[in-house]
Amino acid sequence: MPHNNPIILAIDTSCDETSIAVTQGQKILSNAIASQIELHKQYGGVFPTVAKQAHKDNIEPTIKAALKKAKIKLSELTAIAVTQGPGLAPALEIGITKAKELGQQLKIPVLPINHIEGHSISVLAQPTPKNKNFKPINPQFPVLSIIVSGGHTEFILINKIGSYQKLGFTLDDAAGECLDKVGRLLGLGYPAGSVVEKLAKKGNAKAFPFPLPMTTSNDFNLSFSGIKTHSKNAIKKLETEKKLNPKTIADFCASLQFGVFKHLTYKLKKLLTKIEIKEIWLGGGVAANVLLRANLRKIAQKKQIKFRAPYSKKLTGDNAAMIGVAAHYLYLRSSKKELETLKKTPIDRKPHWSIENNSI
């Protein structure tokens, strides 16, 4: 019999973190993350073969750690969830292979999950309370999910969980990617987003005015490559004039953040004049940024729209807890027959899987 409160072991190996979580409904029983950031720093980005090997090395111990923290035995699991895409193909492969192996061993379904769906649903993932009083979040639809990460910047309309429509997306770089690339030019290391945020606190956001992109287009798409090019030229000028110093770097970070978020909020405000929604959800690595959260919350409040962001920074970057919570809803909406099929169906990596084609 299908369960109505399944216990799920979720796996995410989409990029540079090996993450394993145990979840039950919206409740996170554990969320273990083995980060590879240190390994990739020397390359200034994620190196696929290095990522694949690190996932291979980390996956077993991370599964053990997640089960131990959750105090759950393999035999108690109802289903396995795994990120099928989007992401780095060789990295995805490690998680999928392990998920299928566990599914077959335990004779339980393996639920393939879209990583961007996971980021959208990350706002619903909650810690296990010390007392027994767990109150699930009961969202009101329609929802506008804003995904701001290192690889994606998207506005997604959610009419119900499982039904997604992209209303706008970046035509070139993602917002996080732009912060990372400009941060690198400023010598801030990789990934630079959180360093930009820290330095920006001491800087003047008006010191380096950025052009606002795509104000004449009537769609809700975004573009960050102009901000990147503008930055490149401005930094070159500062270098030539020997004016690149801690003060100008802090000013540049504050101005860059202001420019990137202004573009996003400009498009959001435009979008909100066209659609009626009840809630705004923020997800993805850049969702850790306090200024971005404050800007979006302000816009939502003005329109009397509920604003939600992940409760912890551990849920903004890549993590498997969000995959487990997304899988919970997929499990509940699947028939007994579909769940049986999910025990046997092979899962292929989908490195470019769009959230709109969430076919299961």
**Footprint of ligand AMP (CB under 6 A):** 149-151, 176-177, 179-180, 191-194, 197, 284-286, 288-289, 317-318
Least distance CB 240 / ligand AMP (angstroms):
27
Query: Could you tell me where the beta strands, DSSP code E, fall in the chain?
Result: 7-12, 17-24, 27-35, 79-85, 110-114, 126-127, 143-148, 153-160, 163-169, 279-283, 306-308
Decide whether 6 or 285 has the Cβ nearer to ligand AMP: 285
Of all residues in this chain, which one has the CB nearest to Mg ion in the complex? 318
Strands of the 110-114 sheet, one edge to the other: 110-114, 79-85, 7-12, 17-24, 27-35, 126-127
- Please, which residue, 158 or 174, has the CB nearer to Mg ion? 174
Residue 192, binding choice from ligand AMP, Mg ion, none, Cβ under 5 to 8 Å by partner class: ligand AMP
> Residue 43 or residue 141: which is nearer to ligand AMP going by CB?
43
Q: What letter would DSSP give residue 211?
A: P
Nearest residue to 323 via CA among 136, 97, 134, 85: 85
Closer to ligand AMP by CB, 153 or 334: give it.
153
The item of ligand AMP, Mg ion, none sharing an interface with residue 176, based on CB under 5 to 8 Å by kind, is ligand AMP
Smallest distance from the beta carbon of 152 to Mg ion, in angstroms?
7
Q: Is 28 helix (H, G, I), strand (E, B) or coil?
A: strand
Written as one string, the DSSP assignment of 110-173 is: EEEEEHHHHHHHGGG-EEPPSSS------PPSSEEEEEESSS-EEEEEEEETTEEEEEEEBSSS
Interface with Mg ion includes 318 (CB under 5 A)?
Answer: yes
* Per CB under 5 A, 177 contacts Mg ion: no
Residue (93 or 318) nearer to Mg ion, CB: 318
Select 224 or 252, whichever has its Cβ closest to Mg ion.
224
25 binds, among Mg ion, ligand AMP, none (CB under 5 to 8 A by kind): none
**In the complex, what is the shortest distance from the CB of residue 318 to Mg ion, in angstroms, rounded to a whole number?**
4
Tokens representing 13 are 């190996």
Residue 357: DSSP 8-state: G
- Smallest separation, CB 13 to Mg ion (Å): 11
Q: Which is nearer to ligand AMP, 86 or 226 (CB)?
A: 86
Contact status: 154 vs Mg ion (CB under 5 A): no
Q: Which positions from 106 to 145 touch Mg ion by CB under 5 A, shown as an x/- string?
A: ----------------------------------------
Closest approach, Cβ 217 to ligand AMP, in A, equals 24
Cα–Cα distance, 105 to 240 (Å, whole number):
62
**Gap between the Cα atoms of 271 and 281, Å rounded:** 14
CB of 160 within 8 A of CB of 170?
no
Binding site for Mg ion (CB under 5 A): 149, 318
